[in-house]
């Protein structure tokens, strides 16, 4: 997972024209502390480049999603974020208008009541399970067969 595409017109409005986008994105990620140490962020024309050391593949993915779900970001590159290998299978989903976490859980996990699993897998990205928005990219933990 080195390069990830996002919908630049949607997402959390984090910075304005006079702000340093890289600084604001780094603060946003570090505030939720998904488990990346030595985090460094650069930003150029909608592309975010992350580097650092992640304590897990999940932490790396969460940092990427946090950066990508910011308005004005269309690409996140994280080749320079070292992380252990992924041990849990995940899928990625971009929320569309009318989606709910329970509907997404029903579609991917087979049971609408499993929506807390999706919420927990995205706690740094989704602050309130009732407040998701179109264009937001999230992790879906896939149940083992």
78 and 47 in a common domain: yes
134 and 77 in a common domain: no
64 and 17 in a common domain: yes
Whether residue 144 is predicted with pLDDT greater than 90 in this model: the reply is no
Distance (Å, whole) CA 79 – CA 3: 7
DSSP 84: P
| Residue 106 structural domain | 90-141
pLDDT tens digits, residue range 33-72? 889 999 999 999 999 999 999 999 999 999 999 999 999 9
94 and 76 in a common domain: no
SS3 52: strand
120 and 68 in a common domain: no
Whether residue 11 is predicted with pLDDT greater than 90 in this model: the reply is no
Predicted TM-score of the model (pTM): 0.88
Q: Closest Cα partner for 73 from 126, 137, 27, 5?
A: 5
Beta strands at 3-5 and 36-44: parallel, antiparallel or unpaired: unpaired
């Amino acid at each position: 997972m080195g390069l990830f595409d996002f919908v630049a017109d949607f997402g959390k409005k984090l910075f304005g024209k006079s702000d340093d986008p890289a600084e604001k994105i780094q603060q946003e990620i570090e505030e939720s502390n998904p488990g990346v140490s030595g985090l460094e962020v650069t930003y150029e024309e909608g592309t975010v480049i992350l580097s650092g050391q992640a304590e897990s593949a999940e932490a790396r993915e969460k940092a990427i999603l946090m950066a990508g779900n910011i308005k004005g970001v269309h690409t996140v590159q994280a080749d320079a974020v070292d992380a252990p290998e992924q041990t849990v299978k995940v899928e990625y989903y971009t929320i569309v208008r009318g989606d709910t976490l329970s509907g997404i859980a029903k579609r991917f996990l087979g049971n609408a009541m499993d929506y807390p699993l999706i919420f927990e897998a995205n706690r740094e990205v989704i602050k309130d399970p009732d407040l998701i928005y179109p264009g937001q990219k999230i992790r879906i933990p896939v149940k083992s067969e």
